[in-house]
Amino acid sequence: DQQVKQNSPSLRVQEGRISILNCDYTNSMFDYFLWYKKYPAEGPTFLISISSIKDKNEDGRFTVFLNKSAKHLSLHIVPSQPGDSAVYFCAATTTSGTYKYIFGTGTRLKVLA
Amino acid sequence: KAGVTQTPRYLIKTRGQQVTLSCSPISGHRSVSWYQQTPGQGLQFLFEYFSETQRNKGNFPGRFSGRQFSNSRSEMNVSTLELGDSALYLCASSLGDSPLHFGNGTRLTVT
């Protein structure tokens, strides 16, 4: 049972435009969500997170939006840069002590110069 | 501060053999988690250790085991290797409720 889903395996965006990566979850107990970026031959690196008490969190070019009623979150990258080309994973967990992060299957973003 | 270190980076094993992977967390981090990454499956949670105790376990067979030492370093063992165990194994450490910090992984190939 895939509790965290990223339905788009890949995404191609022109440099300077907005990249929107989507993630859906099924477990209503999740209350903390994260995005990670992964380059080939490297481990995932933390990008941005959001708590369920918020609906938006922004950090520079990266903004994460959370729609709890739809159990949906998205990552917006504006403007997109070629260096953003990577695989992006969303992850979810509960902060009530499970210490277990559930990851999606990833979306490969290609930013075209 | 040094990041999460995983050794070895690459391993080639034969079916039926066993393998041990090592992970040194960021200094001060007491929680260590292990994940398996395969194409199309994302990162699958294996287990999580804190202060030498396994706090959480994913849905993997008993061939997959781990442990954590008093210095927070962790090892993961896979016995009776199968072809399907070929994957990138990632270790992550964290401090309290902070986000996971990942190592660069061990690429295991089973032939």
Residue of A nearest to B94 (CA): A99
The span from the CA of A79 to the CA of A65, in Å, is 16
> For B36-51, b where at least 16 C-beta lie within 10 A, e where not — what string?
bbeeeebbbbbbbbbe
Least Cα separation, residue B18 to chain A (angstroms): 24
- Which is nearest to B63 in space by CA: B20, B107, B7? B20
- Mark yes or no for CB contact A89/B43 under 8 Å: yes
Pairing of strands B53-57, B64-68: unpaired
Which of A33, A35, A66, A38 lies closest to A48 in space, CA to CA? A35
Half-sphere exposure of A75 (CA within 13 A, CB side): 30
Average pLDDT over residues A15-40: 95
Interface check B60 vs A, CB under 8 A: no
What per-residue confidence (pLDDT) applies to B40? 76
A16 in the Ramachandran plot: left (φ > 0), alpha (ψ -120 to 50) or beta? Answer: left
CB contact, 8 Å: A96 with chain B?
A: no
Average pLDDT over residues A39-63: 95
Report yes or no: A21 and A5 within 8 Å, Cβ to Cβ. Answer: no
Q: In whole numbers, what is the pLDDT of chain B averaged over residues?
A: 94
Q: Mind listing the pLDDT tens digit for each residue in B38-72?
A: 987 889 999 999 999 999 899 999 999 999 999 99
**Cβ proximity of B77 and B61 under 8 Å:** no
Q: How far apart are CA B78 and CA A6, in angstroms?
A: 29
Give the minimum alpha-carbon distance from B101 to chain A in angstroms, rounded to a whole number. Answer: 7
Contact across the interface for B56 and A98, Cβ inside 8 Å: yes
Question: Which residue of A43, A44, A100 is in closest CB contact with B56?
Answer: A100
The predicted pLDDT at position A5 comes to 94
Q: What is the pLDDT of residue A97?
A: 66
Residue A1: which pLDDT band, with cuts at 50, 70 and 90?
low
Counting DSSP H helices and E strands in chain B, the numbers are 0, 11
| Burial class, A89, CB count within 10 angstroms (exposed 0-12 / middle 13-18 / buried 19+) | buried
Rounded Cα gap, residues B50 and B89, in angstroms: 19
CB atoms near residue B99 (< 10 Å): 20
How far is it, in rounded angstroms, from Cα B90 to Cα B82? 18
